[in-house]
Amino acid sequence: MRTLLRPTGFVDSPFSHDGKVARLAGGLNWFAQAELIHGDGRRELVAVEGIEARFDEAMASDWTRLTSARAPLTMGARTIRLDQPQVMGIINVTPDSFSDGGAFADARAAAEAGAAMAQAGAAIIDVGGESTRPGAAAVWEGDEIERVLPVVQQLAAGGAAVSIDTRKSGVMSAAIAAGAGLVNDVSALSWDPHSAAAVSAAGVPVVLMHHQGDPATMQDAPHYGDVLVEVFGWLEERIAAAEAAGIPRARILVDPGIGFGKTVAHNLELFNGLALFHGLGCGLVVGASRKRMIGALSGEAPADQRLAGSLALALKALDQGAQIVRVHDVPETVQAIKVWRGLRDQALTPRLV
Ligand code: YH5
Protein backbone atom coordinates (compact mmCIF):
# COMPACT_ATOMS: atom_id res chain seq x y z
CA MET A 1 0.00 0.00 0.00
CA ARG A 2 1.12 3.47 -0.80
CA THR A 3 1.44 6.46 1.50
CA LEU A 4 -1.68 8.65 1.82
CA LEU A 5 -1.74 12.37 2.61
CA ARG A 6 -4.22 13.58 5.24
CA PRO A 7 -4.42 17.38 5.53
CA THR A 8 -4.31 18.64 9.13
CA GLY A 9 -3.03 21.68 11.01
CA PHE A 10 -5.71 23.96 9.63
CA VAL A 11 -4.99 27.71 9.82
CA ASP A 12 -7.41 30.65 9.81
CA SER A 13 -5.84 32.44 6.88
CA PRO A 14 -3.00 32.10 4.36
CA PHE A 15 -1.85 35.72 4.76
CA SER A 16 1.84 36.12 5.71
CA HIS A 17 2.28 32.34 5.54
CA ASP A 18 3.52 32.13 1.93
CA GLY A 19 4.90 28.68 1.15
CA LYS A 20 3.89 27.36 4.57
CA VAL A 21 0.22 26.64 3.86
CA ALA A 22 -1.85 25.06 1.11
CA ARG A 23 -5.45 25.58 0.03
CA LEU A 24 -7.74 22.59 0.40
CA ALA A 25 -9.46 21.68 -2.90
CA GLY A 26 -9.87 25.31 -3.98
CA GLY A 27 -12.21 25.96 -1.07
CA LEU A 28 -12.26 28.12 2.05
CA ASN A 29 -9.84 26.10 4.21
CA TRP A 30 -6.03 26.26 4.41
CA PHE A 31 -3.74 23.76 6.11
CA ALA A 32 -0.14 23.82 7.33
CA GLN A 33 0.53 20.12 7.86
CA ALA A 34 -0.20 16.74 6.41
CA GLU A 35 -0.21 13.41 8.16
CA LEU A 36 1.53 10.80 6.02
CA ILE A 37 -0.31 7.50 6.47
CA HIS A 38 2.20 4.83 5.45
CA GLY A 39 1.32 1.40 4.08
CA ASP A 40 2.47 -0.30 7.28
CA GLY A 41 0.19 1.90 9.39
CA ARG A 42 2.91 4.32 10.59
CA ARG A 43 1.74 7.91 10.74
CA GLU A 44 4.05 10.87 10.40
CA LEU A 45 3.28 14.57 10.74
CA VAL A 46 5.05 16.79 8.19
CA ALA A 47 4.92 20.52 7.44
CA VAL A 48 3.47 21.68 4.12
CA GLU A 49 6.66 23.72 3.60
CA GLY A 50 9.08 21.39 1.83
CA ILE A 51 6.63 18.49 1.71
CA GLU A 52 7.37 17.89 -2.01
CA ALA A 53 10.74 16.45 -1.01
CA ARG A 54 8.87 13.47 0.47
CA PHE A 55 6.72 12.69 -2.58
CA ASP A 56 6.86 9.66 -4.81
CA GLU A 57 4.79 9.72 -8.02
CA ALA A 58 1.49 8.65 -6.43
CA MET A 59 1.83 11.17 -3.58
CA ALA A 60 2.63 13.98 -6.02
CA SER A 61 -0.55 13.14 -7.94
CA ASP A 62 -2.60 12.98 -4.71
CA TRP A 63 -1.16 16.34 -3.64
CA THR A 64 -2.18 17.95 -6.93
CA ARG A 65 -5.72 16.58 -6.50
CA LEU A 66 -5.82 17.62 -2.83
CA THR A 67 -4.96 21.22 -3.59
CA SER A 68 -6.62 21.87 -6.95
CA ALA A 69 -9.97 23.60 -7.40
CA ARG A 70 -13.06 21.51 -8.17
CA ALA A 71 -14.98 22.28 -11.36
CA PRO A 72 -18.57 23.39 -10.79
CA LEU A 73 -21.30 20.79 -11.28
CA THR A 74 -23.55 21.24 -14.27
CA MET A 75 -27.08 20.06 -13.49
CA GLY A 76 -29.22 20.87 -16.51
CA ALA A 77 -29.61 24.64 -16.65
CA ARG A 78 -28.15 25.00 -13.13
CA THR A 79 -24.50 25.34 -12.13
CA ILE A 80 -23.44 24.39 -8.61
CA ARG A 81 -20.15 25.91 -7.46
CA LEU A 82 -17.89 23.68 -5.41
CA ASP A 83 -15.59 26.42 -4.08
CA GLN A 84 -18.04 27.03 -1.23
CA PRO A 85 -20.26 24.69 0.82
CA GLN A 86 -23.65 23.66 -0.56
CA VAL A 87 -26.70 22.04 1.01
CA MET A 88 -28.45 18.99 -0.42
CA GLY A 89 -31.96 18.66 1.05
CA ILE A 90 -33.40 15.17 1.59
CA ILE A 91 -36.83 14.22 0.31
CA ASN A 92 -37.84 10.63 1.05
CA VAL A 93 -40.79 9.35 -0.93
CA THR A 94 -40.94 6.04 0.91
CA PRO A 95 -43.87 4.73 2.93
CA ASP A 96 -41.41 3.80 5.73
CA SER A 97 -38.84 6.59 5.42
CA PHE A 98 -36.11 6.75 8.07
CA SER A 99 -36.82 9.84 10.03
CA ASP A 100 -39.87 11.65 8.74
CA GLY A 101 -42.31 8.84 9.38
CA GLY A 102 -43.35 8.77 5.74
CA ALA A 103 -44.68 12.30 5.92
CA PHE A 104 -43.95 12.68 2.20
CA ALA A 105 -45.80 9.58 1.05
CA ASP A 106 -47.91 11.87 -1.10
CA ALA A 107 -46.12 13.17 -4.23
CA ARG A 108 -47.50 16.68 -4.13
CA ALA A 109 -46.59 17.13 -0.46
CA ALA A 110 -43.10 15.82 -1.18
CA ALA A 111 -42.60 18.22 -4.10
CA GLU A 112 -43.86 21.14 -2.00
CA ALA A 113 -41.47 20.23 0.82
CA GLY A 114 -38.63 20.07 -1.73
CA ALA A 115 -39.57 23.46 -3.17
CA ALA A 116 -39.55 24.90 0.36
CA MET A 117 -36.04 23.48 0.87
CA ALA A 118 -34.86 25.11 -2.36
CA GLN A 119 -36.45 28.37 -1.24
CA ALA A 120 -34.61 28.05 2.09
CA GLY A 121 -31.26 27.76 0.33
CA ALA A 122 -30.71 24.11 -0.60
CA ALA A 123 -28.71 24.00 -3.86
CA ILE A 124 -29.83 20.44 -4.61
CA ILE A 125 -32.95 18.44 -3.69
CA ASP A 126 -32.22 14.71 -3.29
CA VAL A 127 -35.30 12.62 -4.04
CA GLY A 128 -35.32 8.95 -3.00
CA GLY A 129 -37.97 6.23 -3.18
CA GLU A 130 -36.16 3.23 -1.74
CA SER A 131 -35.36 2.74 1.94
CA THR A 132 -31.90 1.24 2.59
CA ARG A 133 -32.73 0.78 6.27
CA PRO A 134 -31.92 -2.72 7.63
CA GLY A 135 -35.02 -4.89 7.27
CA ALA A 136 -36.72 -2.58 4.76
CA ALA A 137 -38.61 -4.36 2.00
CA ALA A 138 -37.08 -4.38 -1.49
CA VAL A 139 -38.83 -2.08 -3.96
CA TRP A 140 -39.57 -3.17 -7.50
CA GLU A 141 -38.07 -0.80 -10.06
CA GLY A 142 -41.45 0.05 -11.59
CA ASP A 143 -42.90 0.97 -8.18
CA GLU A 144 -39.89 3.11 -7.33
CA ILE A 145 -40.22 5.00 -10.62
CA GLU A 146 -43.92 5.53 -9.97
CA ARG A 147 -43.14 6.97 -6.54
CA VAL A 148 -40.32 9.34 -7.39
CA LEU A 149 -41.14 10.46 -10.91
CA PRO A 150 -43.95 12.93 -10.15
CA VAL A 151 -41.83 14.50 -7.41
CA VAL A 152 -38.77 14.84 -9.66
CA GLN A 153 -40.93 16.22 -12.46
CA GLN A 154 -42.65 18.84 -10.31
CA LEU A 155 -39.43 20.01 -8.62
CA ALA A 156 -37.45 20.17 -11.88
CA ALA A 157 -40.29 22.04 -13.61
CA GLY A 158 -40.14 24.57 -10.78
CA GLY A 159 -36.43 25.17 -11.52
CA ALA A 160 -34.83 23.17 -8.68
CA ALA A 161 -31.62 21.19 -9.17
CA VAL A 162 -32.80 17.64 -8.47
CA SER A 163 -30.75 14.61 -7.55
CA ILE A 164 -32.12 11.05 -7.73
CA ASP A 165 -31.18 8.78 -4.81
CA THR A 166 -31.35 5.25 -6.23
CA ARG A 167 -29.34 2.09 -6.94
CA LYS A 168 -31.39 1.15 -10.04
CA SER A 169 -30.47 2.14 -13.60
CA GLY A 170 -34.12 2.23 -14.72
CA VAL A 171 -34.95 4.73 -11.97
CA MET A 172 -31.85 6.78 -12.86
CA SER A 173 -32.77 7.01 -16.54
CA ALA A 174 -36.45 7.77 -15.89
CA ALA A 175 -35.58 10.46 -13.32
CA ILE A 176 -32.99 12.06 -15.60
CA ALA A 177 -35.54 12.15 -18.44
CA ALA A 178 -37.93 13.86 -15.99
CA GLY A 179 -35.35 16.54 -15.18
CA ALA A 180 -33.00 15.14 -12.50
CA GLY A 181 -29.44 16.42 -13.02
CA LEU A 182 -27.46 14.26 -10.58
CA VAL A 183 -27.44 10.59 -9.57
CA ASN A 184 -26.84 9.78 -5.88
CA ASP A 185 -26.12 6.06 -5.59
CA VAL A 186 -25.43 4.57 -2.12
CA SER A 187 -23.98 1.51 -3.89
CA ALA A 188 -21.51 3.63 -5.92
CA LEU A 189 -22.81 2.17 -9.20
CA SER A 190 -22.12 -1.39 -7.99
CA TRP A 191 -25.65 -2.68 -7.35
CA ASP A 192 -27.06 -2.56 -10.87
CA PRO A 193 -24.62 -3.55 -13.66
CA HIS A 194 -26.32 -1.10 -16.06
CA SER A 195 -25.99 1.99 -13.82
CA ALA A 196 -22.54 3.19 -14.90
CA ALA A 197 -23.54 3.11 -18.59
CA ALA A 198 -26.81 4.94 -17.82
CA VAL A 199 -24.99 7.73 -15.96
CA SER A 200 -22.24 7.91 -18.58
CA ALA A 201 -24.72 8.15 -21.47
CA ALA A 202 -26.77 10.84 -19.73
CA GLY A 203 -23.68 12.94 -19.00
CA VAL A 204 -24.88 13.81 -15.50
CA PRO A 205 -22.65 13.95 -12.39
CA VAL A 206 -22.83 11.09 -9.86
CA VAL A 207 -22.23 10.62 -6.12
CA LEU A 208 -20.29 7.42 -5.36
CA MET A 209 -20.96 6.48 -1.73
CA HIS A 210 -18.96 3.94 0.27
CA HIS A 211 -20.73 1.09 2.03
CA GLN A 212 -19.64 -2.21 3.53
CA GLY A 213 -22.02 -5.15 3.08
CA ASP A 214 -25.71 -5.15 2.07
CA PRO A 215 -28.09 -2.67 3.65
CA ALA A 216 -29.90 -5.55 5.37
CA THR A 217 -26.86 -6.84 7.27
CA MET A 218 -24.25 -4.07 7.05
CA GLN A 219 -24.60 -3.02 10.70
CA ASP A 220 -24.20 -6.57 12.09
CA ALA A 221 -20.43 -6.52 12.63
CA PRO A 222 -18.70 -3.82 10.58
CA HIS A 223 -14.95 -4.39 10.49
CA TYR A 224 -11.98 -2.48 9.09
CA GLY A 225 -8.22 -2.60 9.58
CA ASP A 226 -7.90 1.17 9.10
CA VAL A 227 -11.27 2.66 8.17
CA LEU A 228 -9.81 5.82 6.52
CA VAL A 229 -7.37 3.84 4.39
CA GLU A 230 -9.93 1.20 3.39
CA VAL A 231 -12.70 3.65 2.50
CA PHE A 232 -10.17 5.70 0.49
CA GLY A 233 -8.99 2.63 -1.42
CA TRP A 234 -12.54 1.44 -2.08
CA LEU A 235 -13.63 4.85 -3.41
CA GLU A 236 -10.51 4.98 -5.58
CA GLU A 237 -11.58 1.67 -7.17
CA ARG A 238 -15.14 2.85 -7.72
CA ILE A 239 -13.83 6.07 -9.35
CA ALA A 240 -11.66 3.94 -11.66
CA ALA A 241 -14.69 1.80 -12.59
CA ALA A 242 -16.78 4.92 -13.28
CA GLU A 243 -14.00 6.44 -15.39
CA ALA A 244 -13.70 3.18 -17.33
CA ALA A 245 -17.43 3.51 -18.11
CA GLY A 246 -16.82 6.99 -19.53
CA ILE A 247 -17.71 9.20 -16.54
CA PRO A 248 -15.00 11.86 -16.18
CA ARG A 249 -13.62 12.58 -12.69
CA ALA A 250 -14.96 16.15 -12.88
CA ARG A 251 -18.47 14.65 -12.85
CA ILE A 252 -17.77 12.32 -9.89
CA LEU A 253 -18.48 13.17 -6.24
CA VAL A 254 -17.45 10.87 -3.40
CA ASP A 255 -19.04 10.20 -0.01
CA PRO A 256 -17.66 8.13 2.92
CA GLY A 257 -21.15 6.73 3.60
CA ILE A 258 -21.68 7.59 7.25
CA GLY A 259 -23.55 4.71 8.94
CA PHE A 260 -23.35 2.31 6.00
CA GLY A 261 -21.52 -0.66 7.52
CA LYS A 262 -19.76 1.41 10.21
CA THR A 263 -19.70 1.50 14.00
CA VAL A 264 -19.99 4.83 15.81
CA ALA A 265 -16.20 4.73 16.28
CA HIS A 266 -15.69 4.23 12.51
CA ASN A 267 -18.02 7.15 11.75
CA LEU A 268 -16.16 9.42 14.18
CA GLU A 269 -12.80 8.45 12.71
CA LEU A 270 -14.10 9.22 9.21
CA PHE A 271 -15.25 12.67 10.34
CA ASN A 272 -11.95 13.47 12.05
CA GLY A 273 -9.97 12.41 8.98
CA LEU A 274 -12.42 13.53 6.32
CA ALA A 275 -9.98 15.88 4.54
CA LEU A 276 -8.04 12.80 3.40
CA PHE A 277 -10.70 12.14 0.75
CA HIS A 278 -9.93 15.35 -1.14
CA GLY A 279 -6.90 13.42 -2.42
CA LEU A 280 -9.35 11.57 -4.68
CA GLY A 281 -9.78 14.78 -6.68
CA CYS A 282 -13.58 14.80 -6.48
CA GLY A 283 -16.13 16.94 -4.70
CA LEU A 284 -16.89 15.52 -1.25
CA VAL A 285 -20.46 14.83 -0.05
CA VAL A 286 -21.23 13.96 3.59
CA GLY A 287 -24.54 12.81 5.03
CA ALA A 288 -24.88 12.44 8.79
CA SER A 289 -28.19 14.24 9.33
CA ARG A 290 -30.24 12.57 12.10
CA LYS A 291 -28.18 9.40 11.87
CA ARG A 292 -27.73 6.87 14.64
CA MET A 293 -24.23 8.05 15.62
CA ILE A 294 -25.90 11.21 16.96
CA GLY A 295 -28.31 9.15 19.04
CA ALA A 296 -25.42 7.05 20.30
CA LEU A 297 -23.49 10.15 21.43
CA SER A 298 -26.49 11.87 23.01
CA GLY A 299 -28.15 9.38 25.34
CA GLU A 300 -30.19 7.90 22.49
CA ALA A 301 -32.03 11.02 21.37
CA PRO A 302 -34.77 9.88 18.97
CA ALA A 303 -34.37 10.66 15.25
CA ASP A 304 -36.64 13.72 15.35
CA GLN A 305 -34.56 15.25 18.17
CA ARG A 306 -31.13 15.12 16.52
CA LEU A 307 -30.99 18.59 14.94
CA ALA A 308 -28.25 19.99 17.19
CA GLY A 309 -26.04 16.94 16.68
CA SER A 310 -26.71 17.09 12.93
CA LEU A 311 -25.56 20.73 12.84
CA ALA A 312 -22.41 19.89 14.86
CA LEU A 313 -21.49 17.23 12.30
CA ALA A 314 -22.34 19.43 9.29
CA LEU A 315 -19.97 22.12 10.59
CA LYS A 316 -17.27 19.51 11.23
CA ALA A 317 -17.65 18.40 7.60
CA LEU A 318 -17.26 22.03 6.44
CA ASP A 319 -14.11 22.48 8.55
CA GLN A 320 -12.69 19.46 6.71
CA GLY A 321 -13.57 21.01 3.35
CA ALA A 322 -16.67 18.98 2.41
CA GLN A 323 -18.42 20.72 -0.50
CA ILE A 324 -21.91 19.25 -0.02
CA VAL A 325 -23.79 18.30 3.16
CA ARG A 326 -26.90 16.13 2.76
CA VAL A 327 -29.46 17.15 5.41
CA HIS A 328 -33.09 16.95 6.47
CA ASP A 329 -33.21 20.35 8.23
CA VAL A 330 -32.43 22.84 5.48
CA PRO A 331 -33.22 26.28 7.00
CA GLU A 332 -31.32 25.45 10.20
CA THR A 333 -28.31 24.08 8.30
CA VAL A 334 -28.27 27.08 5.95
CA GLN A 335 -28.18 29.41 8.96
CA ALA A 336 -25.33 27.44 10.57
CA ILE A 337 -23.39 27.57 7.27
CA LYS A 338 -23.93 31.33 6.93
CA VAL A 339 -22.40 31.87 10.38
CA TRP A 340 -19.52 29.51 9.52
CA ARG A 341 -19.07 31.44 6.27
CA GLY A 342 -18.95 34.75 8.18
CA LEU A 343 -16.09 33.38 10.27
CA ARG A 344 -14.21 32.19 7.18
CA ASP A 345 -14.76 35.44 5.26
CA GLN A 346 -13.48 37.53 8.18
CA ALA A 347 -10.33 35.45 8.38
CA LEU A 348 -9.82 35.65 4.61
CA THR A 349 -10.25 39.43 4.35
CA PRO A 350 -6.83 41.09 3.95
CA ARG A 351 -6.01 43.45 6.81
CA LEU A 352 -5.37 47.06 5.74
CA VAL A 353 -2.24 48.31 7.52
C1 YH5 B 1 -25.45 9.46 2.70
O2 YH5 B 1 -24.86 9.49 3.78
N3 YH5 B 1 -27.62 8.30 3.40
S4 YH5 B 1 -30.06 7.13 3.27
C5 YH5 B 1 -30.60 6.76 9.17
C6 YH5 B 1 -31.11 7.82 9.90
C7 YH5 B 1 -31.30 9.05 9.30
C8 YH5 B 1 -30.98 9.21 7.96
C9 YH5 B 1 -32.57 8.09 11.70
N10 YH5 B 1 -28.51 8.25 1.37
C11 YH5 B 1 -26.74 8.88 2.54
O12 YH5 B 1 -30.21 9.36 5.27
N13 YH5 B 1 -26.70 9.36 0.18
C14 YH5 B 1 -28.67 7.92 2.67
O15 YH5 B 1 -31.38 7.61 11.20
C16 YH5 B 1 -27.31 8.85 1.27
N17 YH5 B 1 -24.86 9.95 1.57
C18 YH5 B 1 -25.48 9.90 0.34
N19 YH5 B 1 -24.82 10.40 -0.71
C20 YH5 B 1 -29.81 7.05 5.03
C21 YH5 B 1 -30.17 8.28 5.79
C22 YH5 B 1 -30.49 8.12 7.23
C23 YH5 B 1 -30.31 6.91 7.86
pLDDT category, 101, cuts 50, 70, 90? very low
- List of long-range contacts for 134-142, beta carbons under 8 Å, 24+ apart: 134/215, 134/216, 134/217, 134/218, 134/219, 135/216, 136/94, 136/96, 136/215, 137/96, 139/94, 141/168, 141/170, 141/171, 142/170
pLDDT of 152 strictly over 90: yes
Protein residue whose Cα sits closest to atom 4 of ligand 1: 132
pLDDT category, 283, cuts 50, 70, 90? very high
- What pLDDT shows up at residue 72? 98
3-state secondary structure at position 185: strand
- What pLDDT shows up at residue 97? 45
pLDDT of 99 strictly over 70: no
pLDDT of 98 strictly over 60: no
Query: pLDDT higher for 281 or 135?
Result: 281
- What pLDDT shows up at residue 104? 56
- Ligand 1: atom nearest CA of 126 is 13
Query: Contact, 161 vs 78, CB < 8 A?
Result: yes
Q: Could you tell me if the CB of 116 is within 6 A of ligand 1?
A: no
Q: How far is the CA of 82 from the CAs of 72, 98, 196, 253, 323, in angstroms?
A: 5, 28, 23, 11, 6
Pairing, β 43-47 against β 73-75: unpaired
- What pLDDT shows up at residue 68? 98
The mean pLDDT of 69-84, rounded to a whole number, is 97
Q: Could you tell me if the CB of 292 is within 6 A of ligand 1?
A: yes
- Ligand 1: atom nearest CA of 209 is 19
The mean pLDDT of 155-159, rounded to a whole number, is 98
- What pLDDT shows up at residue 96? 58
The per-residue pLDDT for range 239-282, each reduced to its tens digit, is 999 999 999 999 999 999 999 999 999 999 999 999 999 999 99
The mean pLDDT of 29-38, rounded to a whole number, is 98
Query: pLDDT higher for 112 or 99?
Result: 112
From 255, 327, 328, mutation site for ligand 1 pocket: most ligand atoms within 8 A of C-beta: 255
Spacing, Cα 289 to ligand 1 middle (Å)? 7
The full set of domains in the chain, from first to last, is: 4-67 (no CATH), 73-346 (3.20.20.20)
Q: Could you tell me if the CB of 132 is within 6 A of ligand 1?
A: yes
- What pLDDT shows up at residue 352? 75
The per-residue pLDDT for range 104-134, each reduced to its tens digit, is 558 999 999 999 999 999 999 999 999 887 7
Q: Could you tell me if the CB of 166 is within 6 A of ligand 1?
A: no
Query: Contact, 195 vs 156, CB < 8 A?
Result: no
Catalytic residue annotation: 291, 326
